[in-house]
Structure 1
């Protein structure tokens, strides 16, 4: 384990250089990793482990679309693809990758298969941190830990196939065997992490829920909508408004920020852009910080988790979700985006 210094604050991190794939394979050579759930994180994590030589099986309900997807991805019924209970029985490491609401519903079944020495693996701290709401309390004689890739399962898989890694956090909630650290790091490497940084279950879920509702999705959509609407109200066309709001950010600037940092971006843009950005960024910080403080409080007090459980457990959840997504999809902002994306050179037919 290495220590990195971030402006005077030290953090524990593990890189693939100090914990190479060969070491991960050795740690996991006698394990059967059962991936339960094949929706958001499941496919990427399962396929990356499979390609990395780990003995991984998938547990899914037969006759579902996700069962068929697992078959199409190369998992073989009766060999590496099983009904959930059989996978739970076979697995020595249970990768619990269902949605938070589904984890609550299946927990009694999972718990009875957590025999001494097994490991329970999460990619989210939700179920454990909010156990008074979820009822997820593991037995004391199993390891409990998490690896949380900082991105979608699709990104995890895509970057793996490109020979890259997606950074992940790791945390150990319970070390019953004395081997939890080696097991969790080995799994983190096996699923395709770039480097792994240490956290705990509470901090992981607090930061994750804040990020999803904040700059990653909720806040960024709100900012996009606000700027787009102001431009349109002042006579700018949908194309111009979308390009100045979304397209330039996502296609041009953010890749450069990811490579070099925002300070580099400020130093390498026009002097007019520099002046404006330097004058306005603190105003946006000051305007939005109270919202983020309210958001974090809502996460830390369990309000957001309870909302999520109550909403996602309803039988009509999918129908209501589709209606909310339709509002976004049908908005002029994202209809303009659909048109702009179709005009990108890579999406244009090439004439002979």
Structure 2
């Protein structure tokens, strides 16, 4: 591992001129797009336009925030750099239909996840700098941390360096959205993509939800009330996650009761047994190949992705019980 991989860069190490002098179009104005646009503007990036479809519900919000809103083809013809912050699964259609036919020669492409480049959903021409500027965390948290004078840990990578200045633009962009306050590290498009997808599928979302649902059902089957089961298997996840974020896994174990720690250590290795390894191996194989990416993009482009799944979740008892408890716990204090 190189020294550069070991040591983060901070705002004091980075020249913001490459992004401040740039005519920047931001495609999308959801959590990532809005957060990035506001932070970049506050960091002195004066020439920002928001690129949205005519029917986008985000148009009113972007205009209320004081940004000029233009069509995607207009943005592609105007900008020195495009920051493509729409949903990953929409990148192929946006690129092929609205950006590529109209793009300004030499225009840089910036993405906040490696997904569409790593899986060849987008194939930029040779004249483009292709940059990953990933602030690791939810889009809304970028703005929240920036307003506190901090930021999210940032990772940068360069897929194409047509100008010879792609690295400088990547670092300036990340510093301007706050990552330079906490540290910016180099990565690769592959590493960021594989790690992001695997983490959210097997731990942060898929794994956590599977454990929560299964444990709720098992407790209820044992005669425990649904309310108690929900509190112990779903509601309290936040408190343990907060402890791990603040103190690490060892610190979390030190902070909880000895009874909880002893019981957890008895079952930890059983849960992380051969069956779990098989599931992880299958998930990694789908991610490392393009099977997951292709299936997801094809599902999205076919329309109505996951509508039935979301409706089925809403009908579950765990959701009904959770909604009632949240209303009682938090509704009374509003």
TM-score scaled by structure 2?
Answer: 0.91
For the residues of structure 2 that align with 1:17 and 1:343, how far apart are their CA atoms? 48
Q: Partner of 2:322 in structure 1? A: 337
> In structure 1, which of residues 17, 31, 41 is the aligned counterpart of residue 22 of structure 2?
31
8 Å CA contact 2:79–2:104 kept in 1: the answer is no
Return 275-284 or 336-345, whichever deviates more.
Answer: 336-345
For the residues of structure 2 that align with 1:11 and 1:226, how far apart are their CA atoms? 40
**3-state DSSP class of the match of 1:28?**
helix
For the residues of structure 2 that align with 1:11 and 1:308, how far apart are their CA atoms? 34
Return 41-50 or 334-343, whichever deviates more.
Answer: 334-343
Deviations 1:91-112 (A, max 9, x none): 1110012223321112233224
8 Å CA contact 2:154–2:184 kept in 1: the answer is yes
Q: Partner of 2:83 in structure 1? A: 95
1:270 corresponds to 2:231: no
For the residues of structure 1 that align with 2:58 and 2:161, how far apart are their CA atoms? 32
Q: Partner of 2:159 in structure 1? A: 173
For the residues of structure 1 that align with 2:76 and 2:137, how far apart are their CA atoms? 26
How far residue 196 of structure 1 moved from its aligned partner, in angstroms, is 2.1
| Displacement over 6 Å in runs of 4+ | none
1:43 corresponds to 2:30: no
CA RMSD in angstroms, aligned pairs only: 2.0
**3-state DSSP class of the match of 2:82?**
strand
How far residue 163 of structure 1 moved from its aligned partner, in angstroms, is 2.9
8 Å CA contact 2:76–2:104 kept in 1: the answer is no
For the residues of structure 2 that align with 1:73 and 1:322, how far apart are their CA atoms? 31
1:304 corresponds to 2:292: yes
How far residue 151 of structure 1 moved from its aligned partner, in angstroms, is 1.9
TM-score scaled by structure 1?
Answer: 0.87
For the residues of structure 2 that align with 1:293 and 1:40, how far apart are their CA atoms? 32
Deviations 1:315-342 (A, max 9, x none): 333xxx2321122122111222222222
Deviations 1:192-233 (A, max 9, x none): 324222211112211122122111111111111011111111
**3-state DSSP class of the match of 2:261?**
helix
For the residues of structure 1 that align with 2:178 and 2:222, how far apart are their CA atoms? 47
8 Å CA contact 1:228–1:241 kept in 2: the answer is yes
1:257 corresponds to 2:244: yes
For the residues of structure 2 that align with 1:69 and 1:263, how far apart are their CA atoms? 43
**3-state DSSP class of the match of 1:272?**
helix
Q: Partner of 2:224 in structure 1? A: 236
Output aligned runs, 1:77-88, within 5 Å. 80-88=68-76
Structure 1 or 2: larger strand share? 1
1:15 corresponds to 2:10: yes
For the residues of structure 2 that align with 1:64 and 1:137, how far apart are their CA atoms? 25
Deviations 1:104-143 (A, max 9, x none): 1122332244444321101121221111xx2x21111221
For the residues of structure 2 that align with 1:283 and 1:349, how far apart are their CA atoms? 41
Ranges in structure 2 where 5+ consecutive residues have no aligned partner: none
8 Å CA contact 1:100–1:126 kept in 2: the answer is yes
> In structure 2, which of residues 232, 236, 239 is the aligned counterpart of residue 248 of structure 1?
236
How far residue 51 of structure 1 moved from its aligned partner, in angstroms, is 2.2
How far residue 280 of structure 1 moved from its aligned partner, in angstroms, is 1.8
8 Å CA contact 2:216–2:229 kept in 1: the answer is yes
